[in-house]
Structure 1
Amino acid sequence: MNAFNKLKEVAPMLWTDKVTIQTTKKVVNEHHITTSEPVTVVSDEPAKVILKGLKASEQSFFGTDEYDATLLLSTGIDVPAGATIIVTDVNGKVTKYKRSSKGYSGYVSHQEIAMTRDEKA
């Protein structure tokens, strides 16, 4: 078990992407009107994006750029389902993922978050 704890410390050192995770929080004001305000869960956190199923043949006529990816992130960060995840890769390219799953933290070293990029190309 001690070796896994060391992996938990070492794995983020190998991740070259940085993520900012944002969600919304419902706020009820004094007039009983519910509004939402943006909340940043984490900013510039080391992470790694793994792409799945990116095929040129699946690009649609309307110019959308849609594919699935998995985010590897340190445990201990509570990522709610539906969070917006903004990834900056090692080359400075920013990619925004609009749909995400709740983090799966069944591993000692990291958690995994399923994401979908769905933007107009």
Structure 2
Amino acid sequence: MSYFNGLKNALPKLWNDRVKIVGTLPTKHGYITNNEDVTIVEDEPAKVVLKGQSASEQSFFGTDEYDAKLIIRNGIKIPAGADIYVTDVNGQVTKYKRASKGYSGYFSHQEVAMVRSEKA
């Protein structure tokens, strides 16, 4: 598998998006454990792939909702339900929520299913 090591290092150089991932993790304070928001990564290279975006699926109330997939390096533990903030090459920040747990079955990267659900 050593011939894939170059691919693992080269792919992030092609990803122009930057992500900040915030997840809820159990944090212990003495005898009490609370779930707290924790920044998992910040300014991490990644790539967002839109699964489908159709104008006919826009609702009357002006929500902008579509499915997307995040491609990011392996080694980052992304919990289900994490909030993902993506900054594209133009500086536009998009928030995704209801993320799935990362699928790391690929040698070079992992994929995370996301839903953008914001008011337009």
TM category, shorter: over 0.9
Q: Which runs of 5+ in 1 are unaligned?
A: none
Q: 1:31 and 1:112, CA in 2 relative to 1: closer, same or farther beyond 3 A?
A: closer
Map 1:25-104 onto structure 2 (within 5 A): 25-27=25-27, 29=29, 32=32, 35-104=34-103
More deviation, 88-97/17-26: 17-26
> 1:38-90 CA deviation, whole Å, 9 max, x = no partner?
10000000000000110001000010000000000000011011000000000
Aligned counterparts, 1:5-44, within 5 A: 5-27=5-27, 29=29, 32=32, 35-44=34-43
Alpha-carbon distance, 1:2 to partner = 2.8
Give percent identity, aligned residues only: 64
The answer to whether residue 21 in structure 2 is matched with residue 4 in structure 1 is no
**SS where residue 49 of structure 1 aligns?**
strand
Q: Deviations over 1:13-49 (max 9, x none)?
A: 00000000001223465685x6432100000000000
Query: Could you say what secondary structure the match of 2:117 adopts?
Result: strand
Unaligned stretches of 5+ residues in structure 2: none
Amino acid at match of 1:49: V
1:106 alignment partner in structure 2: 105
TM-score by length of 2: 0.93
SS of the aligned residue for 2:35 comes to strand
**Which residue matches 2:117?**
118
Structure 2: distance between partners of 1:18 and 1:65: 21
Moved over 3 A (4+): 26-32
